[in-house]
Amino acid sequence: MNRIFSGMQPTRQLHLGNYLGALRNWVSLQDQFESIFCIVDLHALTLPQDPAVLLGNTREVTAAYIAAGIDPERCIIFNQAAVAAHSELSWILSCHTPMGWLNRMTQFKEKAGKHRENAALGLYAYPVLMAADILVYKATHVPVGEDQKQHLELARDIAGAFNRHYDKDFFPLPEPQILGEATRVMSLRDGTKKMSKSDESDYSRINLTDDADTIALKVRKAKTDPDPLPESVEDLEKRAEADNLVTIYSALAGTSRQDTLDRFAGQQFSGFKGALVDLAVDKLAPISTEMNRLMSDVGEIDRILRRGADKANAIASANLADIKDIIGLLRP
Ligand code: TYM
């Protein structure tokens, strides 16, 4: 059976990269797969968090999932800390993962910075917890943005190592699903950097909760070059910022980058930006309105998460029991 698992960290607000690279794809995939969508609050702990803010963000990300179109009746939506099997399997898998594999992870190197000795052990072990998230449900497909590709390859390696060690075909090797035009949305201020929640400048990203005026301001201030839009996508190759805006437009419009160029070739970016603002507001305003509505009834969000956690727990604890039997861990 095909089963999707994916998740987002409840750190700060979700942005257009999270939406176009992942969340929007989840919405279309929920019709084809049994789907489990997690708010990965344990992953958020790898960097310092304020307790009240973390709690609020967990509910807000839940609201964003639902507002974007994830149906809590058909899909399982829950927060990671509510299902203990993630942490338990993470320990088990960490005992099957050579440190050399983790040393290759580029995201750890970026996030730990120069003072690696001061980085938390959890930041280093983060990809093992991510593997556990996926494997505890024996998920077959994982829709993510491109920045998660290396972590997913590691999850496949860990699953393969476990299967070989116990000579069992137990874990499916999860397939990454990196879909659509915008698998890597770049910063609006620097087309060589990923759009990211951790960028100091709020002008580098469009948040799902930004209002129309803020979106307009950010798009107007977005970096571009002086040339007009070119005729073909090959001509965007050395124009990172131009390429990014064309990519964002195309992803929001549901067309290819070439279709966008066919329409706007020869026009200046000032005009194109106006069309981009209209489109972004048109697509994002209903999501932020619905998020606000959902956030006005936190009790209902908590009920959805509790129901999701119950269903997730049923699957995860049955799989964990099988895993313990395979390993030889005594169960009461
Ligand atoms: P996170 O919270 O950083 O991002 C959530 C999702 O958004 C995608 N994404 C982007 N896509 C395109 N352009 C961007 N600029 C951009 N920024 C973020 C990410 O690829 C991701 O799909 N480790 C994960 C969370 C996680 C997870 C998992 C995902 C934990 N366990 C198990 C899948 C399966 C993370 O930090 O994503």
Q: Residue 186's pLDDT is what?
A: 98
Q: Is the pLDDT of residue 1 over 80?
A: no
Q: What is the pLDDT of residues 266-313, one digit of tens each?
A: 999 999 999 999 999 999 999 999 999 999 999 999 999 999 999 999
| Annotated catalytic residue 193 | no
Is 254 annotated to bind a ligand? Reply is: no
Q: Residue 115's pLDDT is what?
A: 83
Q: Residue 79's pLDDT is what?
A: 98
| Annotated catalytic residue 238 | no
Stretch 161-185: mean pLDDT, rounded? 97
Q: Residue 236's pLDDT is what?
A: 95
Q: Residue 12's pLDDT is what?
A: 84
Atom from ligand 1 closest to the CA of residue 129:
31
Helix axes 85-94, 121-135, angle to 10 degrees: 110
Q: What is the pLDDT of residues 14-45, one digit of tens each?
A: 999 999 999 999 999 999 999 999 999 999 99
Q: Is the pLDDT of residue 332 over 90?
A: no
- The rounded mean pLDDT for the chain is 96
| Annotated catalytic residue 283 | no
Q: Is the pLDDT of residue 265 over 90?
A: yes
Q: For residues 71 and 65, give the distance between their C-alpha atoms in angstroms, rounded to a whole number.
A: 8
Residue bearing the CA closest to ligand 1, atom 33: 6
Stretch 158-176: mean pLDDT, rounded? 98
How many angstroms separate the first and last alpha carbons of the chain?
29
ipTM of the complex in this document: 0.99
Q: Output the CA angle 229-235-240, nearest 5 degrees.
A: 80
Q: Residue 168's pLDDT is what?
A: 97
Stretch 219-237: mean pLDDT, rounded? 95
Q: Ligand 1 pocket test: pick from 5, 102, 148, 171 the residue with the most ligand atoms within 8 Å of its Cβ.
A: 148
Q: Residue 111's pLDDT is what?
A: 87
| Protein residues with CB under 6 Å of any ligand 1 atom | 5-9, 17-18, 21-22, 40, 43, 130, 133-134, 142, 144-145, 147-148, 151, 183-185, 194-195
Residue bearing the CA closest to ligand 1, atom 16: 17
Residue 143 confidence class, pLDDT cut points 50, 70, 90: very high
pTM of the model: 0.96
Q: What is the pLDDT of residues 58-80, one digit of tens each?
A: 999 999 999 999 999 999 999 99
**What is the 3-class SS of the chain, one letter each residue?**
CCEEEEEECCCCCCEHHHHHHHHHHHHHHCCCCEEEEEECHHHHCCCCCCHHHHHHHHHHHHHHHHHHCCCCCCCEEEEHHHCCHHHHHHHHHHCCCCHHHHHCCHHHHHHHCCCHHHCCHHHHHHHHHHHHHHHCCCCCEEECCHHHHHHHHHHHHHHHHHHHHCCCCCCCCCEEECCCCCCCCECCCCCCCECCCCCCCHHHCCECCCCHHHHHHHHHHCCCCCCCCCCCHHHHCCCHHHHHHHHHHHHHHCCCHHHHHHHHCCCCHHHHHHHHHHHHHHHHHHHHHHHHHHHCCHHHHHHHHHHHHHHHHHHHHHHHHHHHHHHCCCCC
Q: Residue 149's pLDDT is what?
A: 97
